Amino acid sequence: MDKNFKMSLFSPLYEAWARWAHPFDQAMGKVPVLGGWFAPRWSILIVHRDGRFCVPDGDQGQRVLLDDELRQFAQNKRINLRLGTGLGQQRDIALPHAARHKPAAMIALSLSQYFPFPEDDTAFAVHGPVGPDKDQQSLFRVSFARRSHINEVLQRAAGFGISPLAVDALGDDPSQAVSADLRTGGKAGGGKSASQILVGLCASLLVLAASLGLWSALSLSPKADRLNHKVQPVATDQAAMQKQAKASTPSMLAIWQAATRALPDTAYAQYLLYEKGQLRISGKADNAAQLVSAIESQPIFTGTTFAAASLKEDDGKESFDLTTRVQNAVQP
């Protein structure tokens, strides 16, 4: 695939990432407690052409360090050596909008246009963009100095035991955040990218979700199928039992008709209840004792007994309360 085509294909994604990631990282660096992990604390040491070593002091001020203080300052773990007056400086460089993602590469093509030093003795590093783009141009703040001056200053600092992790140039604010390194021509390094950590975490969660889905498909689905195969025979057996039970029990109409035929003209039912294969009949008759044999005469009734004692009522009839077991009529 053509390289230019690749760049044009992924350029919108890269631009969107750059617009979001840089402000997000800066904001996370200002968060209390956690901000120190994303934006490491630098100890800034400013060196001037006349040999003075200073530290930022108050509102854009500087305080000169004595030799003993310099040796004590050397104990700091993350030191940035800032080149002061006569050694280095900062300037803002306007670049075409198309070069906003790789400003250092664009500047390196025209060193003599931007810096007054010989190209082989020029060191520069881009701090970052300054303000929004205007007129199809992007503005970048850049530190620059002579390489020979940087080497001289590093030797002087080494005499006090100072080994800086980054070197940049002094701008308007002595306490300016450290973001560029003249020795490497790139970022000062240190700290963690909050945006990259967030993207990595999201990617890990997506991989975990995909892995769980794959594991479920490969592991749980066969188990579910086996359980279904076990449940299906049970369901089939239950259906067969229900069907058999239904076939072995007369319909309610047949039960009602049989009970009606069983009762003689001298008896009548006041209450019928069919439940769990048992029929309960209560009412009144001239002779309750004859009802047992009358009910048993119907093929679907068997095991007929009195559920309660029969009593003589005021109307001359006897009350009865019978229970009988219902079964299918025996086919001839």
Supply the pLDDT for residue 39: 63
Spell out the per-residue pLDDT of the chain, length 332, in tens: 444 444 445 556 655 655 666 566 666 656 666 665 666 788 999 999 999 999 999 778 899 999 999 999 999 989 999 999 889 999 999 999 888 888 999 999 999 999 999 999 999 999 988 877 777 888 999 999 999 999 999 999 999 999 999 999 999 999 998 989 999 999 886 656 666 777 788 888 889 888 888 887 777 767 667 776 665 565 556 666 556 655 556 788 888 888 888 888 888 888 888 888 888 998 998 888 888 888 888 988 888 888 888 888 888 888 989 899 998 764 43
Q: What are phi and psi of 304, to 5 degrees?
A: -80, 130
Supply the pLDDT for residue 6: 45
Tell how strand 166-169 and strand 186-187 pair up: unpaired
Q: In this structure, are residues 280 and 270 in contact, taking their beta carbons and an 8 Å threshold?
A: no
Helix (H) or strand (E) holding 241: helix 221-247
Supply the pLDDT for residue 31: 67
**CATH level 3 topology of 252-326:** Gyrase A; domain 2 (3.30.1360)
Supply the pLDDT for residue 315: 86
* pLDDT single digits (tens) 202-242: 888 889 888 888 887 777 767 667 776 665 565 556 666 55
Supply the pLDDT for residue 331: 42
Sign of CA dihedral 123, 164, 55, 181: positive
- Which of 179-184's residues contact partners 24+ apart within 8 Å by CB, and which partners? 179/127, 179/128, 180/125, 180/126, 180/127, 180/142, 180/143, 181/125, 182/83, 182/88, 182/123, 182/124, 182/125, 182/143, 182/144, 182/145, 182/150, 183/123, 183/150, 184/125
Q: In this structure, are residues 173 and 90 in contact, taking their beta carbons and an 8 Å threshold?
A: no
Equal fold, 43-187 vs 252-326: no
Q: In this structure, are residues 143 and 130 in contact, taking their beta carbons and an 8 Å threshold?
A: no
Supply the pLDDT for residue 3: 44
Domain extent listing, the chain: 43-187, 252-326
pTM here? 0.52
Q: Which CATH class is domain 43-187?
A: alpha beta
Supply the pLDDT for residue 180: 92
Q: In this structure, are residues 157 and 45 in contact, taking their beta carbons and an 8 Å threshold?
A: yes
3-state secondary structure of 138: strand
Supply the pLDDT for residue 249: 65
